[in-house]
Amino acid sequence: MLIIPAIDLKGGKVVRLVKGDFSAQIDYGDDPVAVARKWADAGAPRLHVVDLDGALTGTPRHLEVIGKIAQAVAPVPVQTGGGIRTAASIGKFFETGVAQVILGTKACVDEGFVTVAVKAHGEKIAAAVDVKDGRVAVEGWVRKEWMKPEPLVQRLIAQGVKTIIYTDASRDGTMSGPGVEGLRAVLEKAGGKAKIIASGGISSLEDLVKLKELEPLGLWGVITGRALYDGKLDLKEAIKLCSPKGSSPASMSKTAGSSKGSAS
């Protein structure tokens, strides 16, 4: 189970939102590249970079800095999302060296777009399934759709999406612990046909122990942000805890880096 540090960008700064609320912002520095290098140097096998301004406006706002992050931490893969809603945007991010592009709003509301994107880029396309109050949330989490996450996950898998980031937005940035039962329901519906990455509420090694029990159901990775930035969770300890028996954090990073082409 990979431990993936989150780098959320807003106004050029590294921030965290609480429950996806843009008015509840915590700043963690104005040098995103330096932050990315810090996590990569600590052994991060992968980085999760989100353009919050892009998610809210529907147009990527941090293309240049995300490209700089990807180049600075290579060969550590960078997965990124936030406002990526056109084929041109997808192409631009791949040109910067990003390993995987995450479709959020488009993945939910435009089936045809997902089909075309997966056909063009294969496993380098991932999808975000963000949930608030049991329903899928889109457009920077400010709009809730009628659908529940499980059928969306099943549809995305049927379309060929191999990596899905499931975020419990009501817990994101709260360090209140992960929503294990909601995640379990998604994993059961996925049926091991996609790599599921969980996000939201991670606060401690104990939380990771709980999530690691879901690994046999297809939980491939865990994204954590505020717990790392606030010093509640040590990245090296977390990686060691979740590494396969006999594998070191360095070997996990090397393995993840080698998947850059397939963006698994």
Question: What HEC string does the chain produce?
Answer: CEEEEEEEEECCEEEEEECCEEEEEEECCCCHHHHHHHHHHCCCCCEEEEEHHHHHHCCCCCHHHHHHHHHHHCCCCEEEECCCCCHHHHHHHHHHCCCEEEECHHHHHCHHHHHHHHHHHHHHEEEEEEEECCEEEECCCCEECCCCHHHHHHHHHHCCCCEEEEEECCCCCCCCCCCHHHHHHHHHHHCCCCEEEEECCCCCHHHHHHHHCCHHHCEEEEEECHHHHCCCCCHHHHHHHHCCCCCCHHHHHHHHHHCCCCCC
Q: Which of 30, 31, 51, 130 is catalytic?
A: 130
Handedness of CA 198, 199, 201, 202 (dihedral sign): positive
Q: Which of 8, 168, 172, 207 is catalytic?
A: 8
> Is there a catalytic annotation at residue 31?
no
Q: Which residue has the tokens 């805890």?
A: 241
Q: Which residue has the tokens 């147009």?
A: 59
> Is there a catalytic annotation at residue 130?
yes
Which positions are annotated as active-site residues? Answer: 8, 130
